[in-house]
């Protein structure tokens, strides 16, 4: 069953990749235009509106919408990648700041420890 699912997935991916191109939109427009003379020749407004709505718009706009969605998702992916890169940079800065803070804390502990020793020494001398 997994092989069949993979096969179906591959076919669906290839069809989607083809349909979501402007070349496919041009092909669909050409196919739709073949029936335009017959729709106009009928003289019936309902037939003409049906041709526009059902034949032309549905057939051609499908590909155009998919092209737009693809472009939009690529733009969104770029923003996600930029945000991720910026976040990693900020994380590295935070790590460096933490390392500096840890070193400073260690130095302050040494200074404090030295001050405590001096105070003890002074207290011993004064006794």
74-114 residue pLDDT tens? 888 899 999 999 999 999 999 999 999 999 999 999 999 99
Residue 117 falls inside a structural domain:
no
| pLDDT, position 49 | 93
Q: Is the pLDDT of residue 127 over 80?
A: no
Q: Among residues of the chain, what percentage have pLDDT more than 90?
A: 57
Binned at pLDDT 50, 70 and 90, residue 43 comes out as very high
Sheet strands (E) in 16-109: none
What pTM was estimated for this model as a whole? 0.56
Q: Are 75 and 83 in contact (CB under 8 A)?
A: no
Residue 70 falls inside a structural domain:
yes
Which tokens sit at 27? 């092909």
Residue 11 falls inside a structural domain:
yes
Range of the domain at 55: 2-94
| pLDDT, position 112 | 94
Residue 16 falls inside a structural domain:
yes
Q: Are 56 and 32 in contact (CB under 8 A)?
A: yes
Residue 111 falls inside a structural domain:
no
Between 59 and 92, residue with greater pLDDT: 92
| pLDDT, position 126 | 81
Which tokens sit at 29? 């427009």
| pLDDT, position 80 | 93
Residue 73 falls inside a structural domain:
yes
Count of domains in the chain? 1
Q: Are 32 and 64 in contact (CB under 8 A)?
A: no
Residue 116 falls inside a structural domain:
no
Residue 103 falls inside a structural domain:
no
Sign for the CA dihedral angle at 108, 111, 114, 118 comes to: negative
Cβ partners under 8 Å of residue 20, min gap 6: 63, 66, 67, 69, 70
User: How many residues does the structure list for the chain?
Assistant: 127
8: left (phi over 0), alpha (psi -120 to 50) or beta: alpha
């Amino acid at each position: 069953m997994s092989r069949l699912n993979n096969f179906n997935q591959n076919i669906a991916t290839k069809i989607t990749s083809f349909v979501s191109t402007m070349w496919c939109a041009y092909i669909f427009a050409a196919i739709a235009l073949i029936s335009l003379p017959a729709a106009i020749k009928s003289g019936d407004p309902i037939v003409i509106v049906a041709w526009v709505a059902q034949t032309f718009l549905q057939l051609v706009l499908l590909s155009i919408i998919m092209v737009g969605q693809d472009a939009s998702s690529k733009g969104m992916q770029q923003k996600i990648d930029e945000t991720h890169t910026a976040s990693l940079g900020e994380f590295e800065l935070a790590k460096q700041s933490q390392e500096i803070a840890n070193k400073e804390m260690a130095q302050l502990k040494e200074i404090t420890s030295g001050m405590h020793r001096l105070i003890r020494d002074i207290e011993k001398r004064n006794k």
